[in-house]
Structure 1
Amino acid sequence: MKTTKLFLMMSMVALFFTSCYTETVIVEDTIVDPVPQVTLAHLLSDYELWYVDVNKSNSNGEIPFMQIAFTLSFENGTLYANNNLVGIGDQGYGLGIDVGYYHTSGFDLNITHDLDGFNRFEVTQLAYNKLELYNRTTGVYFTLIGAQRDTFDYNALFYDNIHYFVQEYVTWEKTFTSQQGAINEFDNENFVAFLPGGGDGNFQSSQDNNGTNPNNIYYDYTGIYNVDDVNNNRYLKFLTLDYDFLGNEYFEMSVIDDRTISLYHPNSRTTYEFTGRGYIQFKNQDGFEKGEERGKLRLSKEQIEKQMVKISTL
């Protein structure tokens, strides 16, 4: 009997303590480190050069300074541009010339250009080094690709924009003819000038003596030229010159430096070198007021092909 009572008392005590037990759970606040917000000003300054890729831009409208520049740079509120291929990498320590100023507000980029005035762009980051600048007023957007000066592919820049490069000199003078190669009619041509436009009359050719002042050259012939890509070789182009009396002349064109091009003539196996004469520098406000060239609006390859009179068979 005593054993039974003792067992019942112990059971009741155990039940009492079990029913009175409450589990207490303490939830501590989770501390999350704030994610740093990248500002547009910081993003623009991350890269020394921003290449204006007209082939990936929508230029149905017109904002001239954006379509003239090959690269833009944003440095402490000052906007710089490389409007010429000749001398790029050297002028302004690689940044080009001062063309205006800018400031940012959120992801709006406000640019006041010396000639074109004020434009606001809504900026979208497409990739770590790729931006889209959208101008709501004109409906135009531009794609910018960021790079550093010491890693920028200047060779690709020249070949991708070779139409504009050959137009940055008043004329090109033949300064070398290889010993190898058969005699041909083009041996007599000493100057070739490349002019803007895709229709008739966008190249000129002269047989004047070497050393003639570019301003005094008499051009014997005016015709059409085409530049075509070479498959699987970004650093070579096909050049076709339309001569009525010679027929079409075909060349493999390569850039030696920013004032020398090489033309290889497959039919005769002759190599020619031409040196640029009469450099045309595309200035900003000061030069423009002095009557110097403003610069040509760059077009995408698709737009150039639409305007071009096709003479090559490539």
Structure 2
Amino acid sequence: MILDVNHVIDGYDSFDVYQIDSNTIELYNPFIDTSYFLHGYQRATFDYDFVFYDNIHYFLQEYEAWEKVYTSEYGALNEFDNENYLQFLSGGNDSTFRSSQDVNVYNPNNIYWDYTGVYGVGNVHGNDYLKTLTLDYDFFDNEFFELSVINDEVIELYHPNSGTVYEFEGVGYIQYLRESDTTGKVTKHLDKPKVRKQKTPKKDNPRENTRS
């Protein structure tokens, strides 16, 4: 079986389809000699929330900036109280963040970023729906948070060292789709293309190209 795909971002591709077992198929691209293995799940038992949290760093990258909209009245004063905007950059090492102490900036393009550093998202043992977020500030040590999602625009950061809770709202949603005219020709590309890194290591492909 041959599967032809015309993707709005990646364009045209063609695959040979092979059934591996009762819930696994292989999509083989003969033009680049690459196979992709897809495991099927039942809708009723598939854990969409787990997949979302397992890829939450991509969610953080889908806004131009995150604006602090809430700081709890409880909690000790700390250096992070002064940070009002965060940005998580895609591409590169996929772990770069920026922070700003600007206030009331209505256009994220006008934010002055005071600091650029490295961030990391980690797992919480026994809880698949809670993550940790570490921001590496060289000048006053790392900032560690428990990261949870309130909705598709707001995240909550709990700062254990001070007991403070912060909420950040995403501003400047990044639309990754390309625009095209009525003939399907691409008329506009975004300056920031969608970047996703492969998690699994690549292996030599034993599949042989059977197309002439």
TM class by smaller structure: 0.7 to 0.9
Distance 2:192 2:39 in 1: 24
Distance 2:115 2:190 in 1: 27
CA deviation after TM superposition for structure 1 residue 213, in Å = 2.3
3-state DSSP of counterpart to 1:209? coil
- The structure 2 residue matched to 1:292, chosen from 190, 193, 202, is 190
CA deviation after TM superposition for structure 1 residue 153, in Å = 3.5
Equivalent residues in 2 for 1:258-277, closer than 5 Å = 258-277=152-171
Structure having the larger proportion of residues in helix: 1
Report Cα offsets for 1:97-116 as digits up to 9, x if no partner: xxxxxxxxxx2212234564
Which one has more relative contact order, counting CA pairs under 8 Å at least 6 apart? 2
Q: Do 1:262 and 1:271's aligned partners in 2 also have CA atoms closer than 8 Å? A: yes
Distance 1:110 1:227 in 2: 36
TM-score, L = length of structure 2:
0.80
- The structure 2 residue matched to 1:279, chosen from 164, 173, 177, is 173
Q: Do 1:281 and 1:293's aligned partners in 2 also have CA atoms closer than 8 Å? A: no
Moved over 6 A (4+): 148-151
CA deviation after TM superposition for structure 1 residue 236, in Å = 1.3
2:37 equivalent in structure 1: 143
Are 1:247 and 2:141 an aligned pair? yes
Q: Structure 1 residues 180 and 125, CA, compared in 2 at 3 Å: closer, same or farther?
A: farther
Q: Is there any run of 5+ residues in structure 2 with no aligned partner, and where?
A: 202-212
3-state DSSP of counterpart to 1:156? helix
- The structure 2 residue matched to 1:231, chosen from 117, 125, 132, is 125
CA deviation after TM superposition for structure 1 residue 295, in Å = 3.8
Distance 2:88 2:112 in 1: 15
Distance 2:126 2:18 in 1: 32
Larger Rg: 1
Report Cα offsets for 1:247-303 as digits up to 9, x if no partner: 111111111111111111111111111100000011134296334357423223457
The worse-fitting range, judged by mean Cα deviation, of 115-124 and 209-218 is 115-124
Give, as a single letter, the amino acid of the residue that structure 2 aligns with 1:300. Answer: Q
1:10 equivalent in structure 2: none
Equivalent residues in 2 for 1:9-48, closer than 5 Å = none
Aligned residues: 197
Q: Do 1:204 and 1:219's aligned partners in 2 also have CA atoms closer than 8 Å? A: yes
The worse-fitting range, judged by mean Cα deviation, of 199-208 and 226-235 is 199-208
Give, as a single letter, the amino acid of the residue that structure 1 aligns with 2:55. Answer: N
Q: Is there any run of 5+ residues in structure 1 with no aligned partner, and where?
A: 1-106, 304-314
Q: Structure 1 residues 150 and 184, CA, compared in 2 at 3 Å: closer, same or farther?
A: same
The worse-fitting range, judged by mean Cα deviation, of 234-243 and 205-214 is 205-214
1:134 equivalent in structure 2: 28
Q: Structure 1 residues 234 and 270, CA, compared in 2 at 3 Å: closer, same or farther?
A: same
TM-score, L = length of structure 1:
0.56
Distance 2:14 2:115 in 1: 46
Distance 1:296 1:115 in 2: 8
CA deviation after TM superposition for structure 1 residue 146, in Å = 4.2
Q: Structure 1 residues 115 and 175, CA, compared in 2 at 3 Å: closer, same or farther?
A: closer
Give, as a single letter, the amino acid of the residue that structure 1 aligns with 2:32. Answer: T
CA deviation after TM superposition for structure 1 residue 202, in Å = 1.4
Q: Report sequence identity in percent.
A: 55
Distance 1:158 1:301 in 2: 15
Distance 2:77 2:34 in 1: 51
Distance 1:171 1:154 in 2: 25
1:216 equivalent in structure 2: 110
Q: Do 1:200 and 1:224's aligned partners in 2 also have CA atoms closer than 8 Å? A: no
Distance 2:11 2:106 in 1: 41
